[in-house]
Structure 1
Amino acid sequence: MKKDRPKYKQIIDAAVVVIAENGYHQAQVSKIAKQAGVADGTIYLYFKNKEDILISMFQEKLGVFISNIDEEMARVTSAKEKMLVLIRKHFEILFEDKHLAIVTQLELRQSNKEIRYKINDVLKGYLKLVDSILIAGVEQGEFHEDLDVRLARHMVFGTLDEIVTTWVMNEQKYNLVEQAGPVHELIIKGLGAKIVK
């Protein structure tokens, strides 16, 4: 079955809602089918099982996530600006889709080891994006010349991840996107850049 078919996307979107509202373990395929408005059997035309739905959902959503960030990053030249785009888009996308935020920050972590390995594999595309900003920043003299890119990548991703998780745990009571500016400033300072006001 081709992944560009409308029902594929319908099932993915339904899975995000059902998993966010019920938790991964309580999210039966029948609930996902009902939310998507399709017969239970239709799900199995596109996915092997619930685990496959979760991995595919993450691949699909992260793919959109990366292309949105990429597209906007192409409009700016400095690594500092690119980092701000990354942070802002990361927060915006999850702020605008609260169900997706619950799934990425909480439910994906409840899954078994095999699922986590597959998810980490999908995450590599996002981490390469972070690396590209860091490497450009060093090459353009914006970040510290001795920057340990691998360590800096963990710092950037870990910071954004923790801030979104805290927001989800606080029942999304405040505007996540408003955190982008202060977080950007802290990260940029940590990368050895001078802040020009």
Structure 2
Amino acid sequence: MNQKRPKYMQIIDAAVEVIAENGYHQSQVSKIAKQAGVADGTIYLYFKNKEDILISLFKEKMGQFIERMEEEVKEKTTAKEKLALVIKQHFSLLGNDRHLAIVTQLELRQSNIKLRLKINDILKGYLNMLDTILTEGIKSGEWKDNLDVRLARQMIFGTIDETVTTWVMNDQKYDLPALSDKVLELLVSGIHQN
């Protein structure tokens, strides 16, 4: 079945809203169906169960983001410009969709180990993109030549992730995308060639 059909995305979008508002464990498939404007049985034409919906929504939303970023970073010249773009777009994506931010930062983390492993598979594309940016920066002389790429990637992803989580936990009271330049400068100061 073609998963890109409008009803599939309608259900995904409804699931983001319902899970963000009610929490994953309190979100029944019937609530998602009602929010999507479809019959309960229609959900099962596209998804096996609620867990499948959660995995699919992460795959769709983050998968689209990662694909877009992989294309957009190609248009930038320097590793710093590429990293700036990733940070800014990450903060913009979640800063402009509070429901998605709640789901990705809070609800996905409360899921079982099997679910988290599937989500980690999706994140590999994001982490590989960061690795590529870091490696390019080493080769171009922008970053330290002895930079530990894996550790730097963990530092960058961890900082981005924690910044978004803190924003969510503070009820989104400030402008998340406005922090992108400050976060970039903090991160670059640790990896930049002196």
* Structural mapping, 1:24-63, within 5 Å: 24-63=24-63
Q: d(CA) in 2 for partners of 1:115 and 1:66?
A: 19
Q: d(CA) in 1 for partners of 2:139 and 2:100?
A: 35
Q: d(CA) in 2 for partners of 1:61 and 1:148?
A: 30
Aligned to 1:114: 114
Q: d(CA) in 2 for partners of 1:122 and 1:75?
A: 23
Aligned to 1:5: 5
SS at structure 2 position matched to 1:38:
coil
| Matching residue's letter, 1:62 | M
Q: Which runs of 5 or more residues in structure 2 are unaligned? A: none
Q: d(CA) in 1 for partners of 2:76 and 2:117?
A: 33
TM-score normalised according to structure 1 size: 0.96
1:160 deviation in Å? 0.2
1:67 deviation in Å? 2.2
Aligned to 1:70: 70
| Matching residue's letter, 1:97 | D
Q: d(CA) in 2 for partners of 1:52 and 1:80?
A: 37
SS at structure 1 position matched to 2:152:
helix
Q: d(CA) in 2 for partners of 1:63 and 1:114?
A: 19
SS at structure 2 position matched to 1:105:
helix
Aligned to 1:169: 169
Q: d(CA) in 1 for partners of 2:52 and 2:32?
A: 13
| Matching residue's letter, 1:106 | L
Q: d(CA) in 2 for partners of 1:191 and 1:48?
A: 44
Deviation beyond 3 Å, 4+ runs, structure 1: none
Q: Which runs of 5 or more residues in structure 1 are unaligned? A: none
Aligned to 1:88: 88
SS at structure 2 position matched to 1:3:
coil
**Matched-pair identity in %:** 65
Q: d(CA) in 2 for partners of 1:8 and 1:193?
A: 47
Q: d(CA) in 2 for partners of 1:127 and 1:164?
A: 17
Aligned to 1:79: 79
Q: d(CA) in 2 for partners of 1:183 and 1:2?
A: 39
1:28 deviation in Å? 0.3
Aligned to 1:182: 182
| Matching residue's letter, 1:149 | V
Alignment coverage as a number of residue pairs: 194
1:73 deviation in Å? 1.6
* 1:47-96 deviation per Cα after TM superposition (whole angstroms, max 9, x unaligned): 00000000011000011111232233222110000000010000000011
Q: d(CA) in 2 for partners of 1:43 and 1:125?
A: 28
